[in-house]
Structure 1
Amino acid sequence: MSTQPGLVATDLRSSRVGPVTLHVRPGECLAITGPSGSGKSLLLRLLADLDPHTGRVTLDDTDAQSIPGHVWRERVAYFPAEPGWWSEQACDHVADTGAARTLLGSVGLSERMLSSKIHTLSTGERQRLALVRGLLHKPKVLLLDEPTSALDPDSTALVEQMLAGLKRDGTIFILVSHNAAQTRRFADRHFTLRDGRLEEGDAP
């Protein structure tokens, strides 16, 4: 059993991905690149325990299978490129609290957004609102799938600045991004996913 802090996957696999073994330490960002359809998003979903898999995933020696799924996903939060919504009202997803207002401001969103309907928001606004929604649970691991793909450069800079602060505080990141400049700025280690296997290499 691992005695090192961080996110550890051992022999993780599904029908399309794996086996994958990795260890990401607190305050570290691992970037994963690869062609479309190579399974990058699926790997993030496996780490978040959203899809069937074999193998073992632990966070600070807590096994994903030992706690309820929703508790695991609050600690190991998956942020897809296209977030899902269960209500048309933004406030049903993000309550109007001091913490929410602070996070909204840090990513360039107005507090007035909480009174909006989801369908009236731009793709970039929805992407940032979903990030705020997940961060309110104070996850220890962020699984980011193209987190700024719909953002302009100024908004991207705000999001990266906020995420960098979390990284300095020890949050673990796994970043999937086609933005080579972003992975060079943010990641400590770089992997490529090919044929379901991770290959470590230099920054793209």
Structure 2
Amino acid sequence: MSILEIRDLHYEADNTKILKGISMKIEEGDCVSIIGSSGSGKSTLLKICADLIPISKGELIYREKNYKRYNPIELRRKISYCVQLPHLFGDKVYENLEFPYNIRKEKIDKGRIVKLLEKFNLDESFLEKDIKSLSGGEKQRISIIRNLIYKPDILLLDEATSALDKENAMVIEKYIEELNKEGVTVIWITHSLEQSERIFNKRIEISEGQVKSIERI
């Protein structure tokens, strides 16, 4: 059963056609890598899937219902998007990791936060760190943790390990693989052909705003 279906998707900005009739089905439990050259439309596609920018033409279907039939806030809780360049707010790391609880008006589960930090080769002391003192790789990991406090139905990752060394990139991959085995559908943009083959069951190549190929791995 498809969890996400994209039908004849077009996107245009500043009189430039960026997506030109993208169609695909993502099955529930898929772990999909998306590859393609810079400027091919990959990030735009994920932003649209995350309901962050409007489409020019086409349809997006989540669990057999058009995106337009969902409350946007509820949809974005089910479909979680990790941007390539992480944005942390406030002063301390803790402010970012308590945020998912605060917007849901739920009790903060500090134990879960610490457990996730440890999964990502960080420790509890990071909660009190000033976000300005963090490296690019640390910011990237904190941003991913913030997105995973609540497990989504679909996880969208845009170059999620681009600022990480090989060891920490593998840590992220391993955890995402675990989530996928628990039922989270994953769509991950990567520039690394090697990475696109490791944990995925499907690879989609985007070229000049169109699907060039879809292959099972």
Which aligned pairs between 1:50-199 and structure 2 lie closer than 5 A? Answer: 50-53=52-55, 54-95=57-98, 97-199=110-212
CA distance in 1, matches of 2:183, 2:66: 20
Superposed displacement of residue 84, structure 1: 1.7
Superposed displacement of residue 130, structure 1: 0.6
Superposed displacement of residue 66, structure 1: 2.0
Deviations 1:88-130 (A, max 9, x none): 3211110261111111111111111111121111100110111
Change (3 A) 1:201 1:69: closer
CA distance in 1, matches of 2:167, 2:135: 15
Q: Which runs of 4+ in 1 moved over 3 A?
A: 201-204
Give unpaired runs (5+ residues) of structure 2. 13-17, 99-108
**Residue in structure 2 matching 1:46, options 41, 44, 48:** 48
TM-score, normalised with respect to structure 1:
0.91
Query: More strand by proportion, 1 or 2?
Result: 2
Contact 2:6–2:61 (Cα < 8 Å) also in 1 = yes
Superposed displacement of residue 5, structure 1: 4.0
1:9 — aligned with what?
6
Structure 2 counterpart of 1:93, one-letter code: N
Contact 2:5–2:62 (Cα < 8 Å) also in 1 = yes
Give unpaired runs (5+ residues) of structure 1. none
TM-score, normalised with respect to structure 2:
0.86
Aligned length: 201
Deviations 1:45-86 (A, max 9, x none): 011111120322222224322222222112111111101233
CA distance in 2, matches of 1:67, 1:101: 33
